[in-house]
Amino acid sequence: MNNFIFENATKTYFGKGCVKEYLAFLSGQYGENVMVAYGGGSIKKNGVYDQVMECLKKSGKNVVEFSGIMANPTYAKVLEGAKLARENKVDLLLGIGGGSVMDCCKAISMAAVYDGDIWTDFWERPGIIEFEPLPLGVIVTVAGTGSEMNGGAVITNETRKIKTGRDYPKCNPKFALLDPEYTYSVPLKQMVSGSFDILSHIMETYFSLPDEDNVSDEISEALMRSVIRNLRAAIVNPLDYTARSNLMWDATMAENRIIKLGKRTDFQCHQMEHQLGAYTDCNHGAGLAVLHPVYYRHIYRDGLSKFRKFAVNVWGICPDQKNDEELARAGVEALADFIREIGLPSSLRELGVDEKADLKAIADSCAISAGSYRKMTHEEISEIFKECF
């Protein structure tokens, strides 16, 4: 394995009833002003909002609400939230929702206390945070991005049509509350999409150097099998607590940096989907589902030994009477079959991307991953988009 240093500052509380049990105590460690941030208001329909407000009331908090965080949070929304936090002298930012809400809140936690332009200084290019962001806690209602236990935030600059993710350890939430029952009310399509995002995160770490046996890859294989098994179970019975709790922890494990230790990582599919989303505002997990098989058909020969392991160790494909290339290709096709099985789209047309979309312009705007088994060019990315259409 490659050298690494590991630290994770987020304290995570997992399990049924954890919000009721711990939130009042956790919020009590901060000042009296709390900004509760969320998305379209579903937390007010499913009872989560009432539970949270009751806990905050017990702590004697003054609450200001910031709602309407969209699926692909924009920089304009970040600045709106930062302004509200400053005006109300907020002491604790509390994000309730999935990855979009958590990502937006991380950027708000920086913008609320920073005098400059955080897009220019920290998203347009990597920066160094020499200040303390506003303290952030999160309550997860959608399993998917794993944003609850890292400093990563993906933000869309609508003006520039750029969707960029950065991971700053100082933006790690101070605490994360994960109650699997909070995910029950998520629509089936959103649950499936979020779960594929989990699988995508693991694959993009797994399909990278080193190829020698290593702990990170073996954990990744176990996590991928878990996502596949538990997603199938959750589709059959959305109230299957074991399946939903496993998916929730799969998501956290995929992005709490553990499986990335000693790995180079390849997030080329995410780079491609981010720009697709920046131009079309498509669903993130569904966009990844369209891209992954086609991208892997382009590169599997360059990472043959790892793709062979993927076929055998993740999908259980028997290696008898198949050479390495046949096995590797069979693993990619097993992934494509699974995507169809769980009802995600297999083409950009199914995803709702208009045929008038300028796929070349989108391809040209994509960042190139240094960790890919074969370094992409913008021309090849354009080919992949065309094949996906």
CATH number at residue 47: 3.40.50.1970
Nearest to 389 by CA among 299, 291, 296: 291
Q: Do 172 and 220 share a domain, yes or no? A: no
Q: Based on the structure, what is the number of domains in the chain? A: 2
Q: What residues contact residue 120 under an 8 Å CB cut-off, 6+ apart? A: none
Output the pLDDT for position 161. 87
Residues 200 and 349 in one domain: yes
Residue 1 lies in a domain: no
Same domain for 149 and 286, yes or no, is no
What is the pLDDT, as a whole number, of residue 4?
84
pLDDT for position 212: 95
Structure tokens at 346: 């297999």
Residue 269 lies inside a defined structural domain of this protein = yes
Same domain (yes/no): 144, 75: yes
Q: Are residues 128 and 167 in the same domain?
A: yes
Rounded distance between C-alpha atoms, residue 11 and residue 27, angstroms: 13
pLDDT the model gives residue 329: 98
Pairing of strands 175-178, 152-157: unpaired
The CB-based long-range contact list for 167-172 (8 Å cut-off, 24+ gap) reads 168/106, 168/110, 168/122, 168/127, 168/129, 169/7, 169/9, 170/129, 170/132, 170/133, 171/106, 171/109, 171/110, 171/129, 171/133, 171/136, 172/8, 172/9, 172/10
| 3-class SS shares of the chain: helix, strand, coil, % to 5 | 55, 10, 35
pLDDT tens readout for residues 177-208:
999 999 998 899 999 999 999 999 999 999 99
Range of the domain at 270: 189-388
Q: How far apart are CA 283 and CA 293, in angstroms?
A: 17
- The reply to whether 233 and 275 lie within a common domain is yes
Per-residue pLDDT of the chain (389 residues; tens, 9 = 90+): 788 888 899 999 999 999 999 999 999 999 999 999 999 888 998 899 999 999 999 889 999 999 999 989 999 999 999 999 999 999 999 999 999 999 999 999 999 999 999 999 999 999 999 999 999 999 999 999 899 999 999 999 999 989 899 999 999 999 999 999 999 988 999 999 999 999 999 999 999 999 999 999 999 999 999 999 999 999 999 999 999 999 999 999 999 999 999 999 999 999 999 999 888 888 899 999 999 999 999 999 999 999 999 999 999 999 988 999 999 999 999 999 999 999 999 999 998 888 888 999 999 999 999 999 999 999 999 999 999 99
Q: Rounded distance, CA 197 to CA 189, Å? A: 12
How many H helices and E strands in the chain?
15, 8
Q: Are residues 238 and 353 in the same domain?
A: yes
Residue 111 has a pLDDT of: 98
Domain boundary among 183, 200, 231: 183
The Cα 171–Cα 153 span in angstroms is 9
Query: Do 131 and 223 sit in the same domain of this protein?
Result: no
For residue 280, the model assigns a pLDDT of 84
DSSP code, position 119:
I
Best CA proximity match to 100, nearest among 283, 253, 235, 260:
283
233 and 266: one domain? yes
249, 252, 255, 257: CA torsion to nearest 10: -90
Would you state the pLDDT for residue 269? 96
Are 170 and 219 in contact by the 8 Å Cβ rule? The answer is no
Domain end point (choices 163, 183, 203): 183
**In a shared domain, residues 230 and 128:** no
Tens-digit pLDDT profile for residues 296-308: 999 999 999 999 9
